[in-house]
Structure 1
Amino acid sequence: MTKHFVPLECNPEVFDELIHSLGVTTALSFHDVYVIDDPDMLAMIPRPVYALLLVFPVSDTYEEYRHDSDKDLADDYYNSVSGTDKEQAVWFKQTIGNACGTMALLHALANGIPAGMIEPGSTIDILIKESIPLNTVERVKLLENSTELEQQHAKVGIKGDTAAPDAEASVEFHYVCLTRARNSDHLVELDGRRKGPIDLGPLSPDSDLLSEPALNKVREFLARESASSAFSIIALAPSFS
């Protein structure tokens, strides 16, 4: 029987509570990104930005894009890459229903943030360290069997500005993470529903996730999903001092 999590609301306060309970220091927080083409609005977000979480309705257009992009890849191709020195970005396959928000969060924490931002011995510290040498199948088991991850998710899953749906409810929204790969200066798209990480090209060491290379990829998402106005972005960045 497939495990399900209560879907997370795209709310910085909800995500902050989850990352801090897992062991990320309070030096990091999530921030709403209301627009991406207004420098004055973007200047309100602390820098550097380590990851962007995009949430949007799963449209036919997106599904067509996803399938076309992955069609030449074997379903299990990344199993031979994960856990080896060939792996640039730590990627988790999603098998837990309605857990795409948590998967996006895990991708951000396992790849994009400085190691010093995670408390040693914390839940997320142990989870990331245990996952790095594992292949895709083994990582699935690690996440499915993580009681700590499930418990911390459950505590925040019921919070937010709207009533939380049931864990097994059909939800139209999906999360994707954009961040820097753990083992290279490349921008990556990380989505547990894909067949592995999507390499979006080089990202200079002095660029963050609100630099033009990253924002251009967000613009591609927005253009593709232009029929929907229900598109949200939150940024993982330093907390307000």
Structure 2
Amino acid sequence: MALDQTASSVGGDGKKSAWPPLESNPEAFTALARQLGLQPGYEFVDVFGLDPDLLMMVPQPCLAVVVLFPTQCQVLEDFRKKQKETIGVAGRETEQKKSSEDYVYVHQYVGNACGTFALCHALWNNQEALDAASPLLRFLADAMSEITKEQDNNSTGPAEKPLAALLGEAFMNFNDVREKHAAIASDARLNQTAELAATAKVEEHFTAFVRKSQGGSSSRIVELDGRLRVALEHEDGKPEADLLHSVAPLIQKNFFDVAAGSENNFAVLALVKT
């Protein structure tokens, strides 16, 4: 199975942090999600291909889609940089848009943690699937409280960072999820490859897709990759269809076609209600 990406990252406070990489494995994702509050009746499953017959094998409804892709494919990396410039949304300022943004996005400042970031983005943006006592919900509540408090105490300070950056800095100290991540990443029963150290250099990265309503029957597909520092907002070509069927053409166009068959180290997982 393919693995998580980046060896180490530097947070907003200048500290380096890295976790052991998480395997692209639905059992591992589901096990970690359960520990983070995912309720029974929801799970992560493999998506074995984008052909209609294979998509129909995936339980519906699909709440989120997670894609693992190779970062050593330079043409794909260049394409994603262009996407960042053309359809990227830098994120809300902490006060200006705090109540109007309808999705949770967090910058990734922890190396080798992109699998868990993709998982968390899937869950944060489908909170109906979480138990009320979820550590992820507690993190958001505690982090927002601290951010608001600091903002009130520094009302005349320098220009604010986007909320996604502040949440990313807070996430670096989220010991509960770090410990749960490490336990899952080191569990031989849930992984088909040998455990890698936090400092290991791996060359794949995870991103997550969710759907957000724009009112009425209109919606958009939001791609949440903490490494990009912006969320990517895609047109929803099939708003009446299950999410996976709307995201599949985006994966084909923006990943498989761009790589042009030169890379095959992709994997797709879906968060579904069973």
Q: Output the CA distance in 1 between the equivalents of 2:118 and 2:213.
A: 14
| Alignment of 1:49 onto 2:62 | yes
Structure label with greater radius of gyration:
2
- The Cα shift of 1:86 comes to 4.1
* Stretches of structure 2 lacking an aligned partner (at least 5 in a row): 1-14, 148-162
CA positional deviation for 1:87: 2.2
Does the Cα contact within 8 Å between 2:123 and 2:129 map onto a contact in 1?
A: no
Where 1:155 maps in the other structure, the secondary structure is helix
* Alpha-carbon separation, structure 2, partners of 1:186 and 1:81: 23
- Could you state the TM-score of these two structures normalised by the residue count of structure 1? 0.87
Q: 1:33 aligns to what? A: 47
1:203 offset after TM fit, Å? 6.4
Question: Does residue 199 of structure 1 match 2:227?
Answer: no
Classify 1:131/1:215 alpha carbon distance in 2 versus 1 (closer, same or farther; 3 Å).
farther
Match for 1:194: what amino acid?
L
CA-CA distance at 1:116 after TM superposition: 3.2
Deviation at 1:141, TM superposition (A): 2.4
RMSD: 2.5
Please say which of residues 180-189 and 13-22 is displaced more in the overlay.
180-189
Once the two structures are superposed, what CA deviation does each residue of 1:190-225 show, in whole Å capped at 9, x if it has no partner?
A: 1011131111024666432222x3211011111112
Q: Aligned match of 1:219 in 220, 230, 252?
A: 252
Cα distance in 1 for partners of 2:208, 2:196 equals 22
* Conserved? CA contact 1:13–1:30, under 8 Å: yes
**TM-score normalised by L of structure 2:** 0.77
Shift of 1:128: 3.6
Distance 1:192 1:152 in 2: 19
Deviations 1:28-80 (A, max 9, x none): 111111111142x3222110111111102111012211222234799x94352
**Aligned partners of 2:61 and 2:242 also within 8 Å:** yes
When residues 77 and 11 of structure 1 are mapped into structure 2, their CA distance, relative to the original with a 3 A threshold, is closer
- Are the equivalent residues in 2 in contact too, given 1:79–1:137 (CA < 8 A)? no
Whether the aligned pair in 2 keeps the contact of 1:89 and 1:182 (CA below 8 Å) is no
Q: In structure 2, the residue corresponding to 1:210 is in which secondary structure?
A: helix
- The question of 1:176 aligning with 2:169 is answered no
Letter paired with 2:63: Y
Q: 1:122 to 1:86 in 2, by over 3 A?
A: closer
3-state SS, counterpart of residue 89 of structure 1? coil
SS at 2:16's partner residue? coil
Distance change (3 Å), C-alpha of 1:91 and 1:43: same
153-162 vs 83-92, which moves further: 83-92
User: Which residue of structure 1 aligns with residue 197 of structure 2?
Assistant: 166
Cα distance in 2, alignment partners of residues 210 and 106 from structure 1: 18
Q: Could you tell me whether the CA contact under 8 Å between 2:84 and 2:232 is conserved in 1?
A: no
Q: Which runs of 5+ in 1 are unaligned?
A: none
